[in-house]
């Protein structure tokens, strides 16, 4: 049930889950499969019933509006000329799965095996986790042993053949010597292929729709929205509940265990507000220290994103749908039938590639959008144009998240330190040149006229580097601030229990020791599926399916 009354907060629950995002929705649904287990799910935002959430192509209007959004902004970034980067995060049932681009990507098997071999995260290898990806999803694509067919999360492939620019992008990749992949979420991530989406029946399929909607009627699940959790309550070193505010009224609630699932920004903030974090930082703000955990808020990672843009010489873009009467007709078609251009996110063609030899799995994602936006806005360039997003999948730069004050309503300080590691600038420079090479292939030259960006700024390497610093932004995938590890300095152990205290776990993308080589929504849902079994003392049998690595990765870039 969903409620706004606060009377239930006097009750005691088995679990309190803080945050109804991609992870929290999964946990609430899975844990209440046991009718004897009582769960309270708390969300700072409100209802997800909004046409801009439901309409896949409404994501731009959604982000522009600032609704359902924490509207975070970074501190001035030193390597970006002091620019501040917007970081929207979902403040709504479903969390960021209700405001994201709906792209479904799992990552490479090497990502997860690296969690084990490099970070000591026992039980989190690819063989352990593939069954949870499968359990989570119902794939509308061809039947495949890597895919799921009975899960709550609906995933659909795009229509590549019916979109000429998408088909040309694929063919250009092939002409440039890259492999094609039928399914980047199956055996082979690397290559050019379809970009799958969490969309079904022309509607966004968020974690709230997938997991919460079927569970809302359970008597052992209580969902409360518009709740600001200010801290975890402790008795000694044991978490016994949470305290916060709702409708201006203070509340507290007891639980056998507290699970923080606020995401990579809110989760470390809640831990620090609760006295768990770097002792010197907390004491400088006049806060009592429950556990000195210096790693909380450290290891902040992201996927930096940059776009190259081109004018088109054929009318194959979405530009007419952004102007009257096309915009009106596109919206009407969706409202009446949940069909047409607005029934997809339009990020339908993608590629996972390696920027150089010696890398064993892709470190760059390319995504084609048949529309080009003016710098820093969602206003399109006036005419038929397209842009290709270049997303750096494993940046070396690391940032920090710290508290601005002891006030729970104050946004934390976000310092991502983009491009602070010189290797990231070189990777993005390579990305631009590789993408330009792909665009020069005959398949895309049949459609492309002139380069908008970088344009003249790409004439030489020095001016290109300046252009990169002036224009690089984010793919909105923060991770790593409550990192999991086998070492005593990690924030959580492989059971996702916060070290130094009892009765407290963190379950969301903040526990990733290394951000995965993928959009983070699907991996976050997967790790919450895995966490729900860990909490219940269950485990799915490990998979024996392999993953593909380029046979000549040590000596060949493609």
pLDDT digits (tens, 9 = 90+) for 409-421: 999 999 999 999 9
Does residue 69 have a known ligand-binding role? no
- Structural domains of the chain, with CATH: 1-68+87-156+198-295+479-544 (3.50.50.60), 159-194+304-392+419-471 (3.30.410.40)
Q: Count of residues for the chain? A: 558
Does residue 107 have a known ligand-binding role? no
Of 145, 461, 443, residue with least CA distance to 316: 443
What span, in angstroms and rounded, lies between the C-alpha atoms of 258 and 450? 55
Handedness of CA 192, 193, 194, 197 (dihedral sign): negative
Does residue 102 have a known ligand-binding role? yes
| Other beta carbons less than 10 A from residue 96's beta carbon | 28
Q: What is the pLDDT of residue 9?
A: 57
pTM for this prediction: 0.97
Does residue 92 have a known ligand-binding role? yes
DSSP, res 455 = G
From 87, 108, 477, 550, the catalytic residue: 477
What span, in angstroms and rounded, lies between the C-alpha atoms of 426 and 419? 9
Q: 461-471 vs 422-439: helix axis angle to the nearest 10?
A: 100
What span, in angstroms and rounded, lies between the C-alpha atoms of 480 and 516? 10
Of 64, 68, 66, residue with least CA distance to 44: 68
pLDDT digits (tens, 9 = 90+) for 302-323: 999 999 999 999 999 999 999 9
Name the average pLDDT for the chain.
97
Tokens 């930082």 belong to 281
What span, in angstroms and rounded, lies between the C-alpha atoms of 531 and 239? 18
68 is catalytic: no
pLDDT digits (tens, 9 = 90+) for 528-558: 999 999 999 999 999 999 999 999 999 999 9
Nearest 5°: phi and psi at 462? -65, -45
Q: Which two tokens stand for residue 19?
A: 């945050």
Residue 10 has pLDDT above 60, yes or no: no
DSSP, res 197 = B
Tokens 């009354």 belong to 5
Of 514, 519, 528, 532, residue with least CA distance to 110: 514
Does residue 103 have a known ligand-binding role? yes
Does residue 229 have a known ligand-binding role? yes
What span, in angstroms and rounded, lies between the C-alpha atoms of 309 and 381? 10
Which positions ≥6 away from 204 have C-beta within 8 Å? 53, 54, 55, 56, 98, 102, 198
């Amino acid at each position: 049930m969903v409620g706004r009354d606060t009377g239930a907060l006097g009750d005691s629950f088995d679990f309190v889950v803080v945050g109804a995002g991609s992870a929290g929705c999964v946990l609430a649904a899975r844990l209440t499969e046991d009718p004897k287990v009582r769960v309270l799910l708390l969300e700072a935002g409100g209802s997800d019933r909004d046409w801009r959430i439901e309409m896949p192509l409404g994501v731009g209007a959604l982000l522009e509006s600032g609704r359902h959004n924490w509207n975070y902004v970074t501190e001035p970034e030193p390597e970006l000329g002091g620019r501040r980067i917007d970081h929207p995060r979902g403040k709504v049932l479903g969390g960021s799965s209700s405001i994201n681009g709906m792209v479904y990507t799992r990552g490479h098997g090497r990502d997860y095996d690296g969690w084990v071999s490099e970070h000591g995260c026992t039980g989190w290898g690819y063989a352990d986790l593939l069954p949870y990806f499968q359990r989570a999803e119902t794939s509308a694509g061809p039947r495949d042993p890597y895919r799921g067919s009975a899960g709550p999360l609906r995933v659909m492939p795009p229509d590549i053949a019916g979109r000429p620019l998408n088909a040309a992008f694929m063919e250009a990749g092939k002409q440039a010597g890259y492999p094609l992949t039928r399914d980047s979420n199956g055996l082979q991530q690397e290559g050019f292929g379809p970009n799958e989406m969490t969309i079904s029946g022309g509607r966004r399929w968020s974690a709230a729709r997938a997991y919460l909607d079927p569970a809302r009627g359970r008597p052992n699940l209580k969902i409360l929205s518009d709740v600001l959790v200010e801290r975890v309550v402790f008795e000694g070193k044991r978490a016994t509940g949470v305290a916060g505010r709702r409708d201006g009224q203070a509340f507290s609630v007891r639980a056998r265990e507290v699970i923080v699932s606020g995401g990579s920004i809110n989760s470390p903030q809640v831990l620090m507000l609760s006295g768990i974090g770097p002792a010197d930082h907390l004491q400088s703000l006049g806060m009592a220290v429950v556990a000195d955990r210096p790693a909380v808020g450290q290891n902040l990672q992201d996927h930096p994103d940059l776009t190259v843009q081109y004018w088109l010489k054929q009318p194959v873009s979405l530009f007419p749908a952004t102007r009257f009467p096309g915009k009106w007709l596109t919206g009407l078609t969706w409202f009446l039938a949940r069909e047409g251009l607005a029934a997809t996110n339009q990020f339908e063609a993608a590629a996972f590639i390696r920027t150089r030899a010696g890398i064993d799995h892709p470190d760059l994602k390319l995504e084609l959008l048949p529309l080009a936006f003016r710098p820093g806005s969602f206003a399109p360039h006036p005419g038929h144009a397209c842009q290709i997003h270049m997303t750096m999948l494993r940046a070396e730069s690391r940032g920090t998240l710290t508290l601005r004050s002891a006030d729970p309503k104050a946004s934390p300080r976000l310092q991502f330190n983009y491009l602070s590691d010189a290797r990231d600038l070189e990777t993005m420079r390579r990305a631009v040149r590789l993408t330009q090479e792909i665009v020069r292939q005959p398949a895309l030259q049949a459609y492309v006229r002139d380069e908008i960006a970088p344009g003249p700024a790409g004439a030489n390497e020095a001016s290109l580097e300046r252009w990169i610093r002036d224009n690089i932004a984010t793919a909105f995938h923060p991770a790593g601030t409550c990192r999991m590890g086998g070492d005593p300095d990690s924030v959580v152990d492989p059971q996702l229990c916060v070290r130094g205290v009892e009765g407290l776990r963190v379950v969301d993308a903040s526990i990733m020791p290394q951000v995965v080589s993928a959009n983070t929504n699907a991996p976050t849902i997967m790790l919450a599926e895995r966490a729900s079994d860990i909490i219940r003392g269950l485990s799915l049998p490990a998979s024996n399916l392999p993953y593909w690595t380029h046979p000549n990765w040590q000596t060949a870039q493609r």
